[in-house]
Structure 1
Amino acid sequence: MKLVPSKIRVPIQTWTDTLTTSEVGQRAIGFVNGAFGERAHAGGDVLPAAMSIRLDHRRIEPSTRSLTTAYPAATGRVAVFLHGLVDTERSWFHRDSSTTEPVRPDFGSRLAADLSYSPVYLRYNTGRHISDNGNELVTLLSRLVENWPVTVTQIILIGHSMGGLVARSALHQAQQQAAPWLPKVTRLVCLGSPHVGAPLERTVARMAAVFGRFVITSPLSRLLALRSDGIKDLAQGYLHKTQWQTGTSPTEPQDSDLPVHVRQYFVTVTLSRSEGSLYGRLVGDLLVLPSSSGDRNQSAEHQWFGGMHHLHLPRHDRVYNAVHHWLSHASTLTPAPVGPSL
């Protein structure tokens, strides 16, 4: 006996498409991936195991035919966007509004119009190790450059939060692998990336260790231990496999310096409207402290904005204007001096 009439059954592909392209569905996907990482893989598009190119929130294969069809106005200047923890590429786009006002364009569309960059948005499983996602980015960019509709002359990487660390990890691994696309990368923009770690994750790690010492609280310790590898990497800002395997400090020069031809731009925001205030140093943007997102141990140009929080970074006009100005004038800028963290 049929319990459910076939005529009201929803095809699995229709359900999958709705889940992966709707805002609610993508929020759920981003959260599950980020929270549980490898344990969340169910295959296919719903909980993707592999990093992928996204256009209108749909997967684009990095083949010549698919890329030519998807990017008919492709230029040789490619801007690659990487989202942050428990999110998807939708984080770069303004939320739909109930008002009649038009939705403001995303950073990629604006860079295309202003500086002739072709925007490429990526989706990845933020619960995996940063180094694993970095390795996947190396492979994906190799295929992208090889099959791009026109010859790629320049690549810039723009990462929000964890996305900036994934980009940095990929650049290190590309250098080790002598990836042919690496010389084309000229700029790396990190928006609120926790280069030396995020205090919230360090606090959770300490709590898990303390709870594990007592029988009565050991179940809480085991529950906290279920958090994903990607989240655990954020405690110290690990970029490399050897770091999370051995617990090595990520502040060693050989672990933080990028190829000399790649210039970095770190954007920091704080709730405080006063730069350098005690409140700003202690609270930061609610998730990342300025001493981490503006890591002074690296050679980078820096920009700070007050009165903003972490989720403002991938969509705020002030942030876009700063990035646009830097990309337009970076050749005339001098890297900030390397010194101790604030």
Structure 2
Amino acid sequence: MTDSDPKPPSRFRRALGAVGRAALLPVRGAGYLVRSGKAHRHFFLPVLNGALGDQLAARYDARAIKMSFRQAERDVAVPDLRLTQPHQKTVIFLHGLMGDELIWQAGFQDAPDTRRYGPRLAAEAHIRPLYLRFNSGLHLSENGRELNRLLTELVETYPDAIGELVLVGHSMGGLIIRSAGYYAAQASLNEEFGENQKSDESEKLSQHEALSENGELSQRESSPSGNSSFLIPHSSLKKAPWLAHLRSIFLLGTPNDGSWLEQNSHLTAQLLQRIDLFPTRFLSKALNKRSNGIKDLRFSILVDEDWQDAHADDLTPPRTPVPPLPGVQYHILMGAWLRSTRPSALREYFGDGLVGQDSARGHATFGDEAALLAGASVRTTVFSQQHHGGLLTHPGVFQYLKQWV
């Protein structure tokens, strides 16, 4: 060591520095928590609603989220969206359980200036992105009916601004899209059925007048219009304004046939209740406090009548089929979390870690291609070694969206 080299700090100084750094750790930790809290403050309320949102809404708690379009982290009424560009392709994004609209735009751990699917598609595919936030603790069908109402209002308010309509849903969001489609189609069928009834009444009146004048009445066969969820005539969808614009639906990690995680939670709660001891009754009641939205994920209950049924809590509850909409292309994008070296049965069951692959494919809904209604089609794509949340940031998923949106 030469005379010009700086002398190393003494042991005393090193010890003093270590004590000082240790003393500052709580301050630095608190600072990190504050910064993290600020970055995630928008997320606390959606998490609360996902867990207990039905109870918040039942007592009109101000923290209960109401489904709304969102801009700049604020609820925006449909007339205030001020859509002006005519006939622009519009893509509407719906988050999943305990999520919010920002998952489509940016993430806390993303690199600076990183843009997620919504902003990137707007810039590169020249579409109009719209984002919705909803109370994920409510029944899926309650959110589905409200989505149907909002989309109807959107198209009626901006008949010239909305071109093709594309819906993108992650996890629970995909189920709510399907529920909204069911209620829109049923409303169209009911309207058509009402018009048929009016037509029949008018025809009967004409026949009655002819009988009065001619003294005879020709008999005609007639058959009432059905209201089956299996039959959705393509012509009837013209009466549902937003369905007439709908071209594609993207389901990202959507449990179309139910969640194995919620199925196990339900079974656990039932077993604890049957043991019928004080500790097990307590645990069962605590477990059953989870929201209606979470409970509906057991078999993806999309229709009011199913969760209102007296057998809704049975191991095999009633489940009204919700078929694909005619004239709509469905894109099922799902992750495969486990490596390909794992047994195939295990990989199928766990899927992306939260949604099994069989459920994501939706065999009960999309499995029989021959039974799909006119114009409906399904494309299924698997992204290897991707977990449930990773579908929101995967480059391959974005390229797929960009190609098919």
Q: Which amino acid aligns with 2:64?
A: L
The 2-side partners of 1:25 and 1:292 are apart by 32
Report if aligned partners of 2:53, 2:64 keep a CA contact under 8 Å in 1: no
Q: Which amino acid aligns with 1:170?
A: A
Please say if 1:67 is aligned against 2:81: yes
CA distance 1:22–1:182, shift in 2 (3 Å): farther
SS in 2 for 1:153: strand
Q: Which amino acid aligns with 1:243?
A: D
The 2-side partners of 1:22 and 1:177 are apart by 43
* Equivalent residue in structure 1 for 2:146, among 136, 148, 158: 136
Match of 1:28 in 2: 44
CA offset digits 1:106-161 (Å, max 9, x no partner): 21222222332210100000000000000000111111122238431211110000
Q: Which amino acid aligns with 2:379?
A: E
The 1-side partners of 2:262 and 2:123 are apart by 38
Structure 1 length-normalised TM: 0.80
Task: Give 1:289-304 correspondences, 5 Å limit.
Answer: 289-297=356-364, 298=366, 299=369, 300-304=378-382
Report if aligned partners of 2:140, 2:302 keep a CA contact under 8 Å in 1: yes
Consecutive unaligned residues in structure 1, runs of 5 or more: 1-20, 328-342
Mean Cα deviation higher: 38-47 or 296-305? 38-47
Mean Cα deviation higher: 149-158 or 308-317? 149-158
Mean Cα deviation higher: 299-308 or 273-282? 273-282
CA distance 1:26–1:138, shift in 2 (3 Å): same
SS in 2 for 1:269: strand
Consecutive unaligned residues in structure 2, runs of 5 or more: 1-36, 189-239, 370-377
Report if aligned partners of 1:189, 1:266 keep a CA contact under 8 Å in 2: yes
CA offset digits 1:78-116 (Å, max 9, x no partner): 101000001111222332458xx5332121222222332
The 2-side partners of 1:75 and 1:314 are apart by 28
Match of 1:321 in 2: 399
The 2-side partners of 1:323 and 1:212 are apart by 45
1:198: Cα distance to partner? 0.4
Match of 1:215 in 2: 277
Q: What fraction of aligned residue pairs are identical, expressed as a percent?
A: 32
Structure 2 length-normalised TM: 0.68
CA distance 1:62–1:291, shift in 2 (3 Å): same
Task: Give 1:68-217 correspondences, 5 Å limit.
Answer: 68=82, 71=83, 76-97=88-109, 101-148=111-158, 150-178=160-188, 179-213=240-274, 214-216=276-278, 217=280
The 1-side partners of 2:157 and 2:64 are apart by 26
Report if aligned partners of 2:86, 2:163 keep a CA contact under 8 Å in 1: no
* Equivalent residue in structure 1 for 2:64, among 43, 47, 66: 47
SS in 1 for 2:244: helix
1:177: Cα distance to partner? 1.3
Report if aligned partners of 1:93, 1:315 keep a CA contact under 8 Å in 2: no
Match of 1:10 in 2: none
The alignment covers a number of residue pairs equal to 297
1:258: Cα distance to partner? 2.1
Q: Which amino acid aligns with 2:161?
A: T
Q: Which protein is bigger by CA-based radius of gyration? A: 2
Please say if 1:229 is aligned against 2:243: no
CA distance 1:22–1:174, shift in 2 (3 Å): farther
* Equivalent residue in structure 2 for 1:272, among 318, 332, 338: 338
